[in-house]
Structure 1
Amino acid sequence: MYIMANKRNGTIYVGSTSDLPARAYQHRTGMIEGFTKDKGCTLLVWYEAHEDLDGARLRERQMKKWKRAWKIELIERDNPQWKDLYGTLFG
Structure 2
Amino acid sequence: MKTIGDHNYYVYILTNKSKTVLYTGVTNNLIGRLNFHNNTLPFSKAFSAKYRCFYLVYYEHFFDIDVAIKREKQIKGWKRVNKKELISGFNPSWRFLNSVIE
Q: TM-score, normalised by structure 2?
A: 0.80
**Structure 1 runs, 4 residues or longer, greater than 6 Å off:** none
Whole-Å separation in 2 of the counterparts to 1:44 and 1:33: 20
* CA shift for structure 1 position 56: 0.8
- Other-structure match for 1:5: 15
- Other-structure match for 2:54: 42
* Identity %, equivalent residues: 38
SS at match of 1:40: coil
Give deviations 1:1-55, integer Å, cap 9, x for gaps. 0000003541000000011110011112225641000000010110010012221
Q: Which structure dedicates a bigger proportion of its chain to helix?
A: 1
Whole-Å separation in 2 of the counterparts to 1:85 and 1:33: 25
Please say which structure displays the higher CA radius of gyration: 2
Whole-Å separation in 1 of the counterparts to 2:66 and 2:90: 24
SS at match of 1:16: strand
Aligned length in residues: 90
SS at match of 1:72: helix
Whole-Å separation in 1 of the counterparts to 2:25 and 2:57: 12
5 Å matches for 1:1-91? 1-31=11-41, 33-90=45-102
* CA shift for structure 1 position 77: 1.3
Long gaps (5+) in structure 1: none
Change in CA separation of 1:25 and 1:33 when aligned onto 2, cut-off 3 Å: farther
Q: Which structure dedicates a bigger proportion of its chain to strand?
A: 2
